[in-house]
Amino acid sequence: MIRVLAFDVFGTVVDWRSSIIGELEQFGKSQGLQRDWGAFADSWRGGYVPAMNQVRRGELPWTRLDDLHRRILDELLREAGIQADEDDVDHLNRAWHRLAPWPDAVAGLHRLKERFTITTLSNGNVSLLTEMAKRAGLPWDCVLSAEIFGHYKPDPEAYLGCADIMDVAPDELMLVAAHPSDLRAARDAGLRTAYVDRPLEWGQPGRYRVPFEADEFDSIATDLLDLADKL
Amino acid sequence: MIRVLAFDVFGTVVDWRSSIIGELEQFGKSQGLQRDWGAFADSWRGGYVPAMNQVRRGELPWTRLDDLHRRILDELLREAGIQADEDDVDHLNRAWHRLAPWPDAVAGLHRLKERFTITTLSNGNVSLLTEMAKRAGLPWDCVLSAEIFGHYKPDPEAYLGCADIMDVAPDELMLVAAHPSDLRAARDAGLRTAYVDRPLEWGQPGRYRVPFEADEFDSIATDLLDLADKL
């Protein structure tokens, strides 16, 4: 019996790429700059896994995602020869707090919340997730983050910590995510898994889509409304 | 400028005593027992500070409040000569997940949430607070607990941990509580403070009410609607 649904957030619940490109365009206008902001957004997101892995391997002490995002942003701005005021760069860095949900997300979460306890289980820090939810109307019952467990996904401590703090067995907890790597790690830790297809996460349909076997996950859904139908 | 309101929960947001007496009465009926359930509820709550202090002094390893409540309950049942099935005792112990809000609480939190980020900062564990909020309709933006910081209030780590994880300075965070001891510890850690009067927390008006000076706290309110007016 599934009692709690834990959601990956970036890409699964919110459309980070369109939101970040929009924020970069605003930033560009305010600075009088033109750049390929789509490529800039991809590079910003692309820096996230290597930075996080430095923390996972112990090469960096625990660093919240806001601060990893800032390191990557500072480097990208430097490479692009862009100088901006600290306030403007800080505001831009917090664009990750202001991501817009996929069109089905708010309605889907409301339906899923009727039957299950719904929580985030994201590598985003708690304040980022809290501000995002407040702006976007994401009706979480609880806000859990890698920050609380001191381990980024896909470390097993994040998945098992989520089950422990929600006071359920690992197989009473289902991870909902658009990324096979996240779901595989959750499954290996004993969780149930639901894949949600987000073909537009990286812009063009299917770009960077990772293949998986039809029977790898407990549920496969086209979006969160479809997941509510299936569960 | 205050950005985040952190709420004590037991007594401040929910009326634990009436709820627990109601649950004990149901338990008594199902077991065919009559006892002074008001006194039993007071003893159960009364065991909480000594048990928590054992954790705070390091005499017990970290123990979540559900488990402290269960230790105290087991002892009270033994003293009262009551034997019951494990399932019934477990259900009774989780009465603390099912506490009813004070009549002003849900409306007051909705109003406060329009201007501030609102979070719990309770000694109750995360799963307890999450289930309570879901049942009672408490619209928290975030669910924070002593469990997350590994320190029970009034340890300063709980208050400062809350400011840190919400990414605000201590003086941008206001603790809202019905208990001067909690507020004094928060103030000593650098937080802002709001006292909410709950004269019926212990049944008869003013029972166990702790006196305080008029200028000790930043705000004094009769309930959460009054606090929304004042902030």
Q: Pairing state of beta strands A4-7 and A219-221?
A: unpaired
Q: What is the mean pLDDT of chain A?
A: 97
Residue B69: per-residue pLDDT = 98
Confidence of residue B198 (pLDDT cuts 50, 70, 90): very high
Could you tell me the CATH superfamily of domain A4-15+99-230? HAD superfamily/HAD-like (3.40.50.1000)
Q: Which of A127, A134, A165 is opposite residue B127, by nearest beta carbon? A: A165
Written as one string, the DSSP assignment of B140-176 is -SEEEEHHHHT--TTSHHHHHHHHHHTT--GGGEEEE
pLDDT mean over A107-131: 98
Q: What is the pLDDT of residues A164-190, one digit of tens each?
A: 999 999 999 999 999 999 999 999 999
Per-residue pLDDT at B214: 87
Kindly list the domain boundaries of chain B, sorted by start residue.
4-15+100-230, 16-97
**Chain segment B3-23, per-residue pLDDT in tens:** 999 999 999 999 999 999 999
User: Quick check: A165 and B134 CB within 8 A?
Assistant: no
Summarize pLDDT for B126-168 with one digit per residue, the tens: 999 999 999 999 999 999 999 999 999 999 999 999 999 999 9
Continuous H helices in chain A: 16-31, 37-46, 48-56, 65-79, 86-93, 105-115, 126-136, 146-149, 156-165, 180-188, 224-230
What is the band of B189 on the pLDDT scale with cuts at 50, 70, 90? very high
Q: Which of B126, B166, B167 sits opposite A142 (nearest CB)?
A: B126
Q: Do B127 and A166 touch (CB under 8 A)?
A: yes
Separation in Å, CA of B168 to nearest CA in chain A: 9
Query: What is the spatial distance between Cα A45 and Cα B125, in angstroms, rounded to a whole number?
Result: 34
* Architecture label for domain B4-15+100-230: 3-Layer(aba) Sandwich (3.40)
Residues B191/B175, Cβ–Cβ less than 8 Å: yes
Report yes or no: B152 and B55 within 8 Å, Cβ to Cβ: yes
Closest-approach residue (CA) in chain B for A66: B167
Nearest to A94 by CA among A60, A44, A50, A140: A44
Phi, psi of A82 (to 5 degrees): -105, 125
Query: Where does the pLDDT of residue B209 fall: very low under 50, low under 70, confident under 90, or very high at 90 and above?
Result: confident
Do A127 and B165 make contact, defined as CB atoms within 8 angstroms? yes
Phi, psi of B35 (to 5 degrees): -145, 175
Topology classification of domain B16-97? DNA polymerase; domain 1 (1.10.150)
Residue the block writes with tokens 């991870």: A175
Predicted pLDDT of residue A143:
98
The residue among B127, B147, B168 with the most chain A CBs within 10 A of its CB, best to mutate, is: B127
Comparing alpha-carbon positions, the chain A residue that sits nearest to B64 is A165
Q: What is the ipTM of this complex?
A: 0.95
| pLDDT digit string, tens, across residues B101-127 | 999 999 999 999 999 999 999 999 999
Model confidence at B215: pLDDT above 90? yes
A-B Cβ pairs (cutoff 8 Å, strict): 47
Reported residue count of chain B is: 231
pLDDT of residue A207: 85
pLDDT digit string (tens) for A203-219? Answer: 988 888 889 998 999 99
Contacts of B125 in chain A (CB under 8 A): 165, 167
Residues belonging to chain B with any Cβ–Cβ distance to chain A shorter than 8 Å: 66, 117, 119, 125-127, 130-131, 133-134, 141-144, 147-148, 165-167
Distance CA B159, CA A171 (A): 34
C-alpha torsion sign, points B21, B23, B26, B32: negative
Question: Helices A48-56 and A37-46 meet at what angle, rounded to 10?
Answer: 10
Among the partner-chain residues B117, B130, B165, the one whose CB lies closest to the CB of A142 is B130
